[in-house]
């Protein structure tokens, strides 16, 4: 049996001066949650910097954030941003809803969705993407919805109060090559949302549990969250990319992705052919094996050329 080994290709992007991100890690409460939130925060900041070109100086991570930490961060952002920048805000932690006001739990006094809307509205940029991945986060859509904003929540309402798993699945989506479902070399906010939402739903289904979270998004400013592209929803999220690839770079990335899939297919065919060797004529076996190895060599050469 042949063991086929190959190195994976990782395309690190150059830092993009137009993108800013803030990760707000709130109050953990129980130790198990605090540990999980910290790990998700580490993983998210890592993938944003390593894969999507967020400059370390423009990536702010607030661990165990207080209201003053959040306000101070947004005050600083106001001095750094211009109208053409894009700001991503990620919430990792617990949320709450008292029937009137939705909040994200911080260390000490919390800030409400209305207060976060005021902080976001003070920024000069025209494009803001918010991922509130906490429990009871669905109510944030009503308060944060605005023109030029994409708001993603882990739940569809304030009544879904159980701890969420969506943050882990969003991170998985950001790391997954096949999250780029239209194969254009870019990963859009919509693609990341859809991928993470599917993984979340699959988790509850496979565990045989009733789903306690249903992620939603709003990007047309109507204040109504939806789970899919419909009624004018999703157009902005589909055209807003987490990466910073140019058109040519995106095309090259998509081409490399197709080559990697082709290599995987050919390697599978070779292994299947080897397994059938005892049931084939020697000449037929050798001819098919030679053909497959020649095709594999061509694909590997193309991958090497793309990498260089």
As a whole number, mean pLDDT of residues 192-208 equals 96
Write out pLDDT tens, residues 114-128.
Answer: 999 999 999 999 999
Task: With a cut of 70, say whether residue 2 has pLDDT above it.
Answer: no
Task: With a cut of 60, say whether residue 4 has pLDDT above it.
Answer: no
Write out pLDDT tens, residues 150-170.
Answer: 999 999 999 999 999 999 999
Write out pLDDT tens, residues 247-275.
Answer: 566 556 667 667 767 777 888 888 888 88
pLDDT for residue 266: 86
**Residue keyed to tokens 């944030």:** 140
Banded model confidence at residue 45, pLDDT cuts 50, 70, 90? very high
Report pTM.
0.80
As a whole number, mean pLDDT of residues 5-31 equals 75
- Sheet containing strand 86-92, strands side by side: 59-62, 19-25, 86-92, 127-132, 149-153, 216-218
């Amino acid at each position: 049996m042949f063991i086929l080994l190959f190195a994976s290709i990782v395309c690190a992007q150059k830092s993009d001066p137009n993108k800013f991100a803030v990760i707000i890690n709130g109050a953990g409460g129980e130790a198990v949650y605090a540990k999980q939130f910290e790990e998700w925060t580490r993983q998210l900041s890592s993938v944003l910097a390593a894969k999507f070109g967020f400059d370390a100086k423009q990536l702010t991570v607030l661990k165990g954030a207080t209201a003053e930490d959040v306000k101070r961060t947004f005050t600083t952002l106001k001095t750094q941003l211009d109208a053409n920048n894009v700001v991503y805000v990620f919430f990792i932690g617990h949320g709450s809803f008292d029937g009137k006001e939705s909040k994200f739990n911080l260390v000490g006094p919390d800030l409400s969705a209305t207060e976060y809307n005021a902080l976001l509205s003070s920024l000069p940029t025209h494009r803001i993407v918010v991922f509130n991945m906490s429990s009871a986060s669905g109510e944030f859509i009503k308060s944060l919805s605005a023109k030029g904003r994409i708001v993603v929540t882990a739940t569809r309402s304030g009544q879904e109060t159980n701890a969420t798993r969506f943050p882990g699945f969003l991170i998985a989506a950001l790391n997954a090559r096949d999250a780029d479902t239209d194969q254009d070399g870019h990963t859009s906010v919509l693609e990341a949302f859809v991928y993470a939402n599917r993984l979340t739903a699959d988790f509850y289904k496979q565990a045989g549990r009733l789903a306690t979270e249903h992620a939603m998004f709003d990007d047309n400013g109507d204040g109504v969250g939806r789970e899919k592209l419909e009624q004018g929803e999703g157009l902005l999220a589909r055209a807003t990319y987490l990466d910073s690839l140019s058109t040519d770079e995106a095309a090259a990335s998509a081409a490399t992705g197709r080559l990697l899939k082709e290599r995987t297919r050919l390697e599978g065919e070779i292994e299947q052919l080897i397994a059938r060797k005892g049931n084939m004529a020697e000449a037929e076996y050798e001819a098919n094996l030679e053909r497959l190895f020649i095709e594999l060599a061509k694909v590997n050469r193309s991958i090497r050329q793309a990498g260089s």
